[in-house]
């Protein structure tokens, strides 16, 4: 089961972060998001962005613990459902565990990334920047 959970976590994170572009406005994911702002991108902007990203990374670290929990819970539930539906000894338990772990990890990982972006947007607004998205 640990191998299934590990592979599910890695696969989910690769899918969710594989296309991240952090340098352009509106690009990046989670704590590496670069908000779209109306105004100067001067030294204060970049200093605030760095501090907001650090704050978002701390929040994501907490959320990432939930990814592991969701993957384990999803794997257990999927394994039980696979066993009930298909019985034991024919691969349904393992398949159900794999699908459940992947679903649990993917959902929690997406939530962690969305939270990181939200923290950056709110942080930048709180520091006086006109954030459009």
pLDDT, tens digit, for every residue of 59-69? 888 776 666 66
Range of the domain at 97: 43-133
Domain count, the chain: 1
User: Residue 2 falls within a domain, yes or no?
Assistant: no
Question: Per the domain annotation, does 117 fall within a domain?
Answer: yes
Residue 18 lies inside a defined structural domain of this protein:
no
Structure token pair of residue 101? 């772990």
Q: Other C-beta atoms within 10 Å of 119: how many?
A: 21
pTM, entire model: 0.55
Q: pLDDT tens for residues 2-47?
A: 555 454 555 555 545 444 445 688 899 888 999 999 999 999 999 9
Distance, CA of 107 to CA of 94 (rounded, Å): 20
Query: Cα-Cα-Cα-Cα dihedral of 77, 98, 60, 42, to 10°?
Result: -140
> Residue 13, exposed/middle/buried by CB under 10 A (0-12, 13-18, 19+)?
middle
- Is 24 inside a domain boundary? no
Q: What whole-number distance in Å separates Cα of residue 125 and Cα of residue 112?
A: 20
């Amino acid at each position: 089961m640990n191998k299934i959970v590990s592979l599910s976590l890695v696969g989910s994170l690769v899918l969710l972060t594989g296309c991240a572009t952090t340098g352009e406005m509106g690009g990046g994911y989670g704590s590496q998001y670069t908000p779209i702002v109306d105004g100067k991108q001067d030294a204060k902007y970049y200093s605030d962005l760095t501090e907001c990203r650090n704050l978002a990374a701390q929040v994501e670290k907490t959320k990432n613990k939930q990814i592991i929990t969701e993957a384990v819970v999803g794997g257990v539930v999927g394994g039980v459902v696979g066993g009930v539906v298909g019985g034991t000894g024919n691969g349904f338990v393992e398949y159900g565990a794999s699908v459940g772990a992947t679903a649990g990890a993917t959902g929690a990982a997406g939530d962690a990334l969305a939270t990181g972006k939200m923290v950056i947007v709110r942080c930048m607004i709180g520091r006086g920047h006109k954030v459009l998205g």
